[in-house]
Structure 1
Amino acid sequence: MDPARALAAARPVPYWLDDPARPAAQPALAGAEHCDLLVVGGGYSGLWTALLAKERDPGRDVVLIEAGRIGSAASGRNGGFCAASLTHGFANGLARWPGEFAALEDLGARNLDAIEAAVRRYGLDCDFERTGEIDVATAPYQAEELRQAHATALHHGLDLEYLDRDQVRAEVDSPTFHAGLYDRRGVAMVHPAKLAWGLRRAAERAGVRIYEHTPALALVRHGAALAVRTPYGRVLAHHAALGTGVFPSLLRRTRHRTVPVYDYALTTEPLTEDQRAAIGWRGRQGLGDSANRFHYFRLTADNRVLWGGYDAVYPRGGRMDPAYEQRPATYLRLARHFFACFPQLEGVRFSHAWGGAIDTCTRFSAFFGTAHGGRVAYAAGYTGLGVGATRFGAEVMLDLLSGLTTERTVLAMVRRRPPPFPPEPLATAGIGLTQWSLARADRSQGRRNLWLRVLDRAGLGFDS
């Protein structure tokens, strides 16, 4: 099918948020509020922080403010891959924190188990499925890279399974697949917006007061407390936790440690039984290919294929703009790639097409810290793997605000922050050169040019 015709009726909104069951917004904050803990940001980071704060101390007075709608930014626009990894994959974790890699893997596995337990305990209706994920090779050299990655994983005690061409195509049938690396337990699929909405309900039932359409405009010390100004009022709080993700931080010191990168996705109309049979996919695993410019794809609860990734767009000058959330040229490219991967689905049409911004840092995994004498904690830089890791980040922020030493706060990953990005126009030039180099490596059997090798030696992690 002509990709343009397949896209002709696609709604330009995130599939996950296009739901009549979406809860009504809470009113904006008007006047003054007082609380023990103020949480800024109504995505996963803020919602988990608010809920876990009440779990730790039900008597703690918690307020959460969100600039737009709960889950309307990255938390409601992602692919719904809820991974155990806290380090953007085991290779990145091994390269950066070899001495604490085993502890990070254990904490990540426990974190995913805790998310699954919370889904049951709070009755979070979010289509949670512990399906696992397969990294697939779409070129022969990638198959060899996966084989080497499998050997490394086994050496470090990770339970991953290498699949040859026939084995991976028995799981999901695409003529483009050469091999796979299957993590059967380390990834769950979720409906990301429903997860955010469920966490909102759980937090409210625990006593958290939530205000939507309430951006935080400034944060300052106010005597022994903190004051956060909003358009119609302010909040005085003893402590604050910042979970603002890709949006500019209230703390100037952290603003150059993240940049926005726009990612895009499509969903198909629901597949028929014959279409499902043509591609297999009985295990409903999440999938991602092994290129630098990669695709991620999965089945939704109503058997649509979500197909995203490949283009990663850094906005001009690093400035976010809603106009970047729609990019027809990328949708056409994604549609062409989709039909190349699944020619059996010729004739399928796309129902939704959208984009959204990811907060990326130079180490490709979250970083943490405090400010204002330990009264403010922050977590940022999840780089597209925040669906699961934000819960761990919430625990870290609460640990830091408590002032106690825990198994999390002693980690080098928590104590050290990544190098900042250079100022403009150097950031635009550097990111552009890196993206060009990664695309060239994909066309050159994975060979990394001098620029990428320099970044590798500098530990800047541009590997995906």
Structure 2
Amino acid sequence: MSTKTRIRKSVWIDRAPARTPQPKLVGETTADLAVIGGGYTGLWTALHAAERHPDWRIVLLEGATIGHAASGRNGGFVDPSLTHGLSNGVERWPDEVRELNRLGDENFAGMRDDIKRHGIDCDWREEGILNFARTEWEAEWLREGAEEAAKYGQHVEFYDRDRVGEVTASPAFIAALRVEEQATVDPYRLAVGLFDACRELGVEVYEHSVVKRVTNGGDAVRIQTADGEVRAARVALATNVYPALLPRLKFATVPVYDYALATEPLSDAQLKAIGWTGGEGCADAGNQFHYFRKTEDNRILWGGYDAIYHFGSRRSEALTQREETFAKLERNFFETYPQLKGVEFTHQWGGMIDTSTRFCLKAGLAGRGRIAYALGYTGLGVASTRFGADAMLDLLEGEPTERTESALVRGGMLPFPPEPVRAMGINFTRWSMAAEDRTGRRNLWLRTMDALGLGFDS
């Protein structure tokens, strides 16, 4: 492992221009809509609410700073899927999956249009994604995925052992699957761009304003912070992985810690040596998978593999630095690309993912129709948070739409059990998934979880 000092911060946040901080909420105010959370879900909600209702007073409360958490630390993969991949959608909602795919495609196109219309400079690139197999069973999983995708009209291309050299020079990979309908972005610049668009439309944004309580009563919902209060006609909860402000959501998600590294900028010759001259996003096909991609200045972001749960759903910024995982990621990187031996990693960071038992978003309504929520994206929220935001607004407006009638709103989501069963179940599931990666065989525990529609993912 390199002895050079690394920057312990997301490469996206570290490289971004400084932005003017927003004030803390102090005193009392009112709002037609209060949005709690300044990540993607909250920002999309505030932006679209301001466009739908220019006369509304909209207040957004963020506990730290805009985009500081998952929205500024993720890999920047923009997947149109609302169901965390086609297979999960087919398994859970076979009768609705085509409709959910269509809604996902429309949401993806709408996201592209919003970014263009608001002039958000976030390095949007639509160059697809490559999923790589390291073993014969992973190659078979990709082949099956290609057949399933073709059945549902998706554009994919499978590369077997004889052709995989067309898309990589890594000795670790024996097959690949290219999926065309995918994009990548600079995730933090996307968050900041959405914030700028919100401010241009008059949204009031308060940072460092942690919400302590949400109380529904009388003619408004009271939202209390340490130094202020908002009385709102409607509330959109966009706190995702952070502690639930509604009792019913207490066990809806658990925080899973994900980690990433970023290399120094690479030369064209170095990228050519590993057979990576395009702008695709990439990932492994295994349960314990790496995700990797280039940045605008030709670094390689290399993340994933370890998905760490801490007993009691512990949440702490201290847990975002885990040297054991960073060492494992570095080792795996050089096993995958030995041609890059000697390349330095300049950044290391981690963050929380809001994992749910069904692996994808759930939106709903509470507080006698005054409080909406969307959560549970399970690591695939760059695009689907936009859908979750629109679903919340639809619910608060009280008119049925295709979004509110979809399984993502109507369908239930089984909660995680209390401790210690929660930690035991999650960790045994992780162990079982790693065993499947090594052997290609799914054990009795995983088959039972499949039958119950349960699981663990990141």
Q: Secondary structure at the match of 1:124?
A: coil
| Map of 2:202 onto structure 1 | 207
| Map of 1:412 onto structure 2 | 407
Q: Does 1:310 pair with 2:305?
A: yes
Match for 1:67 among 60, 63, 87? 63
- Given that 2:215 and 2:223 are in contact with CA atoms closer than 8 Å, whether structure 1 keeps it comes out as yes
Alignment of 1:38-437 (within 5 A): 38-185=34-181, 187-437=182-432
- Given that 2:429 and 2:455 are in contact with CA atoms closer than 8 Å, whether structure 1 keeps it comes out as no
How far apart in 2 are the matches of 1:141 and 1:317?
35
How far apart in 2 are the matches of 1:460 and 1:8?
42
- Given that 1:455 and 1:462 are in contact with CA atoms closer than 8 Å, whether structure 2 keeps it comes out as no
Shift of 1:173: 2.2
Shift of 1:154: 1.2
What per-residue deviation string (whole Å, max 9, x for no partner) do you get for residues 264-315 of structure 1?
A: 0000000012111112322210111011111000000000000000100001
| Map of 1:22 onto structure 2 | 18
Match for 2:33 among 24, 30, 37? 37
How far apart in 1 are the matches of 2:135 and 2:37?
41
What per-residue deviation string (whole Å, max 9, x for no partner) do you get for residues 111-155 of structure 1?
A: 111111111111101111111111111111111111111112212
- Given that 1:47 and 1:196 are in contact with CA atoms closer than 8 Å, whether structure 2 keeps it comes out as yes
Alignment root-mean-square deviation, CA:
1.1
Normalised to the residue count of structure 1, the TM-score between the two structures is 0.97
| Identical residues among aligned pairs (%) | 50
What per-residue deviation string (whole Å, max 9, x for no partner) do you get for residues 416-458 of structure 1?
A: 221000001110111111111111111112x111111110000
Structure 2: which amino acid aligns with 1:369?
A: G
* Higher deviation after alignment, 304-313 or 173-182: 173-182
Where does the alignment leave 5 or more consecutive residues of structure 1 unmatched?
none
How far apart in 1 are the matches of 2:335 and 2:205?
45
Q: Secondary structure at the match of 1:236?
A: strand
Normalised to the residue count of structure 2, the TM-score between the two structures is 0.98
Structure 2: which amino acid aligns with 1:415?
A: R
What per-residue deviation string (whole Å, max 9, x for no partner) do you get for residues 136-194 of structure 1?
A: 11111111111111112212222221122343332232111111111112x11100000
How far apart in 2 are the matches of 1:462 and 1:227?
35
Where does the alignment leave 5 or more consecutive residues of structure 2 unmatched?
none
Structure 2: which amino acid aligns with 1:157?
A: G
Structure 2: which amino acid aligns with 1:244?
A: T
* Higher deviation after alignment, 85-94 or 170-179: 170-179
How far apart in 2 are the matches of 1:168 and 1:126?
31
Task: Give the number of equivalent residue pairs.
Answer: 458
How far apart in 2 are the matches of 1:14 and 1:437?
30
